[in-house]
Structure 1
């Protein structure tokens, strides 16, 4: 459980000093990206460094990096067990996060890092990482309302907790996009304790130097605004760290292009999907955004990179492509405020849950059905479905069948869900037998087909639209059956006439008659246009089918190759009877008649409802 305070971490790290210099980062959104960028720049500058961020993505040890690489599991477990033993022997009662923090700082010492980049876990003042006394710069990213039961309900109260990482005489950086009340709260606290100076991320020196530098221009073109802000804060912290350890920062801007290929795990990260799910590899987006402000930023990224990706030259006027969202959220989060910033009409939403979080047993997922109801509260006609069983890959199978295989897929709502997806992906790639993905895929396909069927009581739309749609489909089905009966009666009359003509004509005369059907026969379709065929082409057979019913078959995703059909033969020497309704003639390539046949096949789909 979460237990703010510094007493327990002091006991765990008693008599342990920190010879390295720290970049300490607090905030709500972007602090993990700032840490990752600063650590990357230090590594490129060949400065030994460590990075501690939380929570972990796949395994507990991947939240600790040495020179931009995860710490080896054996080293991590050895140090972690050491602090677990101290905690037990001295009956300290430290939390999992406090033991994790002590493990990270000890690994930094063991590795002889020169700079440690440390992300605050929650808040600032009473966070375990605030045991540090070796900061060379404090960074506060964008602040939003979070953990209000611990930090307060007002934004200035939350900002005061974040400002607790400032130290007397230590420079600090604040994201200038924070509200004025937030910035005033932080600046007032800085003056009170003598922290500073405040390093501004938009000064004449930066505008004349970094922002005009060609390497910065190339990098900035690939980033959306909030990403550029985070990179600037990371760059300023990196420069300050270099100065504090006596290293030159003159060539620091030349390292910026390396960030173009830097992957920020769990932050608008493009990840390949195992081919066993979609039949062939493709990339989806994972993002750990979990609050309304982060959702706004994610929504902007999705708009630029996914919705308008095919029409970027048209800007905001370009048609917006629908997106498939696979969502899970932590219990207690404001799902309505979060979702209204990302989902748009026409999108498809699959809600699910994440599994147990290693080291944080108190973290619980929101009920997927409750999350789906929130989606429908925002957009009542949205295509949405919940997956009762946890599992990111299972939810992805559901999304595949709900969307018809769309590749604009985003997994988001919780960093824990992103972690589940990455973990399951690694497992299935390393050992395909570890996941019975075929069974999962078949189960989700069956479930989606049942939900999409009008015969089922479960529906993804609200009750009003369901009742309206059901009545409309019933009327269409009745009309279709009437057309079928009328057509059958007309065809029976044609067969009688054909038999009479054959009996009345000698064989040699019959064979010498010209083919009446060599002139085009017109059959009206649903759009009042005519469809023609030439009866002289005896190698083709033709179908007459209902457009309305075939469109239902396609939309339902039913792949039954043998729907209920009625086949009748038409004499090509006589024109087809006048047909009314939504009909058209199409070549039947799958079931052609023999070449010598002078007949045509009339196929009529019989029945009603989707999938028939």
Structure 2
């Protein structure tokens, strides 16, 4: 199987949709020899901040000398971004070979009359096999959707379960209240496990407390009152947390400092379990963590950022960060959204700081057309441009950007990657 054939095989399974449940993935992994049972995991669930948290933890472990697997979704530019070892993407050759191996096991499932695994189930199985074959010391595993019935939840009790922020997203599948959504995320809490929690509202925290009590798990909260921000600029920010003084991260936004506190609590638990992680590894790991598409500065002249904010919590974090870092700049927004997201709330959140919107259509069957999105925004903002292509939107933004302005492309990750490619390649 060649690389393009492997990608075609994987993507063609999209037609099998999203089926929450563990029967398919359990059956497939059994045929593969249960590679996941030979690995150790840190399992990360939540609405926002999962990817950044996974990236922080992975980098710290890598700096500490551990061979570290990292599994995330979706990707920004290349499919191979989704599975890495020590920050190196899976090679096209390895992906092709393991995909062929997994396909052979899927064919056996079908011959037995079982359901065809979904795309995410197949990708998760490929990742487990990749990490197993390469003898990873530890794998930092991001949940795809929810937690309780997510394919990644086929693993046994992880070293640590990490819960990031809980917000409204995927409400058609996870529930229409924060406690319902929290219950699905709490599904990754296993018997006798350790759980690190990003502080939440009282009603949400009670969900996690109850599940921990029921499963004999230990709940550890990050303590934001012990978090002391010290300085920030466009190159990063410095803060102290408990006994750690003057830590620096390269990522922007208050929420990333909060995520780093969650990471520090996670690292302390891993140290308690025997992992040797020095303060120097922690400092280097936090500083050297970069996560594409999250308040990422791609150009300085003109100032051009991209961000994957696609729900209300992400939009608030984006708005607050832009106000904090660039209070005197007029904000030109490029925006593309999916129809099934709460894009109205997202737009209402950023409208007060916007001077101009440029709308695009993301590359997705679920995309809201640029014209429809632009029509909606015109009831809030008089400066709206509808673009036929993403390249056209980027060019337009550059033309109208003045020295007192900045550009921020945000919304669906289904188009953010193309913006990133265009700017990295100088259009």
Instruction: Identify the TM-score tier after normalising by the shorter chain.
Output: 0.7 to 0.9
Q: Is the 2:249–2:288 Cα contact (8 Å) retained in structure 1?
A: no
Q: Tell me, what secondary structure is at the counterpart of 1:50?
A: strand
Counterpart residue number, 1:269: 296
Residue equivalent to 2:376: 374
Structure 1 residue aligned with 2:255:
226
> Does the CA contact (< 8 Å) of 1:355 and 1:390 recur in 2?
no
Once the two structures are superposed, residues 20-41 of structure 1 have per-residue CA deviations (whole angstroms, 9 ceiling, x without a partner) of 2111000001011000000010
Q: 1:254 to 1:96 in 2, by over 3 A?
A: closer
Structure 1 match to 2:21: 5
Unpaired stretches in structure 1, ≥5 consecutive residues: 274-280, 309-319, 357-362, 430-436, 438-612
- Residue 294 of structure 1 deviates from its aligned partner by 0.7
Residue 86 of structure 1 corresponds to 105
Confirm whether residue 330 of structure 1 aligns to residue 358 of structure 2.
Answer: no
CA deviation digits over 1:441-488, x for unaligned, max 9?
A: xxxxxxxxxxxxxxxxxxxxxxxxxxxxxxxxxxxxxxxxxxxxxxxx
State the structure with more CA Rg: 1
How far apart, CA to CA, are the structure 2 residues paired with 1:48 and 1:144? 33
Task: Indicate the residue corresponding to 2:409 in structure 1.
Answer: 411
The answer to whether structure 1 residue 384 and structure 2 residue 384 are counterparts is yes
Matched-pair contact (CA < 8 Å) for 1:215–1:253: no
* 1:13-24 pair list within 5 angstroms: 13-14=29-30, 15-17=33-35, 18-24=37-43
Question: How far has the Cα of 1:262 moved from its partner?
Answer: 2.6
Distance 1:47 1:347, change over 3 A: same
Q: Following TM superposition, by how much is the alpha carbon of 1:89 offset from its aligned partner in structure 2, in angstroms?
A: 4.0
**Alignment of structure 1 residues 204-243 onto 2, 5 Å:** 210-216=241-247, 218-219=248-249, 224-243=253-272
The verdict on how the C-alpha distance between 1:258 and 1:127 changes in structure 2, with shifts beyond 3 A counting, is closer
Structure 1 residues 76-475: aligned runs within 5 Å: 76-91=95-110, 92-176=115-199, 178-195=200-217, 197-202=218-223, 210-216=241-247, 218-219=248-249, 224-244=253-273, 246-249=274-277, 251-252=278-279, 255-272=282-299, 284-306=304-326, 308=327, 320-344=328-352, 347-356=355-364, 363-379=365-381, 381=382, 383-387=383-387, 389-391=388-390, 393-403=391-401, 408-425=406-423, 428=425
**1:421/1:82 Cα in 2 relative to 1: closer, same or farther (>3 Å)?**
farther
How many angstroms does 1:10 deviate by? 0.9
Following the alignment from structure 2 to structure 1, what is the Cα–Cα distance between the partners of residues 343 and 225? Answer: 41
Equivalent-residue separation in structure 2 for 1:33 and 1:390 (angstroms):
29
The answer for the alignment partner of 1:443 in structure 2 is: none
Q: State the 1:170 CA deviation.
A: 0.7
For the residue of structure 2 that corresponds to 1:214, the secondary structure is: strand
Question: Cα distance, 1:409 vs. partner?
Answer: 0.9
Whole-Å Cα distance in 2 between the matches of residues 206 and 226 of structure 1? 12
Cα displacement (A) at 1:344 = 2.7
Q: Which SS does the other structure have where 1:408 is aligned?
A: strand
Are the equivalent residues in 2 in contact too, given 1:351–1:372 (CA < 8 A)?
yes
Q: CA deviation at 1:88?
A: 3.2
Q: State whether residues 351 and 385 of structure 1, in contact with CA within 8 Å, keep that contact through their aligned partners in structure 2.
A: yes
Normalising by structure 1, we get a TM-score of 0.61
Report the 3-state secondary structure (helix = DSSP H, G, I; strand = E; otherwise coil) of the residue aligned with 2:324.
Answer: helix
Task: Render the CA deviation track for 1:511-554: whole Å, top value 9, x for unaligned.
Answer: xxxxxxxxxxxxxxxxxxxxxxxxxxxxxxxxxxxxxxxxxxxx
How many correspondences in the alignment? Answer: 393
* Whole-angstrom distance in 2 between the partners of 1:407 and 1:345: 12
Deviation track 1:201-231 (CA, whole Å, cap 9, x = no partner) reads 1299999x94353332x459x7532111101
| Greater strand proportion | 2
Change (3 A) 1:194 1:252: same
SS in 2 for 1:198: strand
Contact map agreement 2:64 2:276 (CA 8 A) in 1: no
